[in-house]
Amino acid sequence: MRIRSVTHNNRKKVFEVRASTKTLIFPFSKAEPTPTIRDPITQLAVDAEAGREAFTYVLHSGRTGTVHIEQLLEYNQDPTYLRDLLLYRLTLEAQKRIAASPLSKREIVRRLGTSAAQLYRLLDQTNYRKSVDQVLALLQVLNCEVDLVVRTKTA
């Protein structure tokens, strides 16, 4: 997801970011360094060096900060973001386990009851059309136990 434009709203104390599909907000208090009344934002721009996936701001004191689109999505609780992040992490773990596994890919395909092409789609970390169920089944074939831990977010 790319950032199209960014503005700051001093009254609400938030950055307002227009991304490719929606408008997201990000509070000053979550940014590092934090803009204040005594140290306001003097410059604000979408960061082209980061592939338009971040924005950079400069405070009156000269300190600079950068906020990445991942931070925006996490703060705004995009439900698909959490699923995609979980899928990405599980896929990377499956890739590591397959590399270390004594099982051949043909044997893994046979145990999954699927095709070789489907196995390669499961191992592609950029493919988000697969389900978490499929990746969990793959990890089970690789003799892995998956525990899901739910914690309260820290500030």
Q: What is the CATH number of the domain that holds 93?
A: 1.10.260
Sign of CA dihedral 87, 89, 107, 120: positive
Q: Are 66 and 50 in contact (CB under 8 A)?
A: yes
Cβ contacts of 4 within 8 Å, gap of 6 or more: 18, 19, 20, 46, 52
100 token code pair: 């270390």
Q: Which one-letter DSSP state was computed for residue 28?
A: G
pTM over 0.85: no
Return d(Cα 18, Cα 20) in angstroms, integer: 7
Q: Are 15 and 22 in contact (CB under 8 A)?
A: no
pLDDT over 70 at 23, yes or no: yes
Range of the domain at 29: 3-75
pLDDT over 70 at 65, yes or no: yes
pLDDT over 90 at 138, yes or no: yes
Together in a domain, 24 and 54: yes
Cβ contacts of 149 within 8 Å, gap of 6 or more: none
Domain final residue, candidates 21, 42, 75: 75
Helices (H), 115-154: 116-122, 132-141
The structural domain count of the chain equals 2
pLDDT of 72-119, one tens digit each?
988 887 678 788 889 999 999 999 999 999 999 999 999 999 999 999
The answer to whether position 151 is within a domain reads no
